[in-house]
Amino acid sequence: MADQAPDAPALGVVRTAVRGAADQEPDADAADEVVGASATGREAGAASTVPDRATLRLALVVGGLVLAVLLGFGLGRINGGGASVAAGGPDSVLAEHTHAPGTGAHAHGTDQDAAAEAGGLAISSDGYTLRPLVAEFVAGRASELRFQIHDGQRRAVTRFAVVHDKPMHVIVVRRDLSGYQHLHPTMAVDGTWSVPLTLPTSGIWRAYADFTAVADDGRQTATTLGVDLVAPGDYVPRELPSPATTSTVDSFAVEYRGVARPGLTVPVDFRVTGADGADPALERHLGAYGHLVALREGDLGYLHVHPEAEPVDGAIRFWLTVPTPGRYRLYLDFSTGGVARTAEFTVSVL
Ligand SMILES: [Cu+2]
């Protein structure tokens, strides 16, 4: 029995270290490092109540495992198996790993499957709630999307961290995954976000708000909330296009390389070719050379994607985590000559 007290927190600490390392991309998930760090502190504190020899042994075990994990992470990145380096351990241990109020397990979960969970499926998550002020539109008519983000005290949030160059990213897509739009609303002083929006065709549409809220105490929470919008009228759903690794938009051909695997974080490289066959000069767009959104067919789950800040051999690289087998639609926004375009791909994950 005496041995189990130090061992249990040791596993918790190691898992925390894995998540900390996995979240080192320079974006919203930085918030998770804070959460992980404070939880580690609490667990170490609990461990200090056991006898000295056990504490010392725990320190050695933790130190060794953290080192092993950090080394493993480097290899895991190369192999595209970052999520698989997590040291094993009962999830009951992680159940004790507490989160600060208002932060959920969305980005790091209780195991590697949860870490890849899709977002945007709920109107309320991680302590924040999306409150649309307009939900019905007339197909083809210019209108405005307006909403607020409320905190746990039902107050409109007015502090947001800038992530990928913007404090708020809104994605709108029809439920058959057609008609993708990527918008950046502006916020009024009362926390009301608004952006011009035209739903070109009738049907049910999905709107996602992707943001990092900043609480009164400065704590940051990255989440994606989703809500349906409706444009009444006849709706003829479009078949999802067949999976393909190439796509054309205007005079540009875009090809991607990479194989998405359920539960793993893998690199996916996009290469843009102009009409003359040459690589066009890609411009920075939203803090990187491209912006990628991935949505799951069936429930329109919104996936975590991390861009690489600089091109890799002329390609735009993203780290993509898909939670399950199935079909996904990828939307790559890239910019050349001052014009942003979107290339779309269907990916079938086995
Ligand atoms: Cu955006």
Q: Supply the pLDDT for residue 57.
A: 54
Measured in Å, residue 180 CA sits from the centre of ligand 1 at 12
Q: pLDDT-derived band of residue 45, with 50, 70 and 90 as boundaries?
A: very low
Residues within 5 Å of ion ligand 1, judged at the Cβ atom: 169
Measured in Å, residue 88 CA sits from the centre of ligand 1 at 36
Place of tokens 């109020």: 101
pLDDT digits (tens, 9 = 90+) for 103-140: 333 333 333 434 568 999 999 999 999 999 998 999 99
Q: Is the pTM of this model over 0.85?
A: no
pLDDT digits (tens, 9 = 90+) for 193-228: 999 999 999 999 999 999 999 999 999 999 999 999
CA atoms within 13 A on the CB side of 269: 9
- Candidate ranges 7-11, 97-101, 119-123; pick with highest mean pLDDT: 119-123
Higher-pLDDT residue of 317 and 50 is 317
Between CA 141 and CA 196 the distance in angstroms is: 11
Measured in Å, residue 99 CA sits from the centre of ligand 1 at 27
CATH superfamily for domain 124-231: Immunoglobulins (2.60.40.10)
Between CA 228 and CA 173 the distance in angstroms is: 10
Measured in Å, residue 307 CA sits from the centre of ligand 1 at 13
Measured in Å, residue 28 CA sits from the centre of ligand 1 at 13
Measured in Å, residue 168 CA sits from the centre of ligand 1 at 7
Pairing of strands 220-231, 305-307: unpaired
Measured in Å, residue 181 CA sits from the centre of ligand 1 at 10
Q: pLDDT-derived band of residue 6, with 50, 70 and 90 as boundaries?
A: very low
Measured in Å, residue 36 CA sits from the centre of ligand 1 at 27
Between CA 280 and CA 329 the distance in angstroms is: 24
Facing residues of 147 across strands? Answer: 132, 193
Q: Return the closest-CA partner of residue 111 out of 97, 128, 122.
A: 97
- 246-349 fold: Immunoglobulin-like (2.60.40)
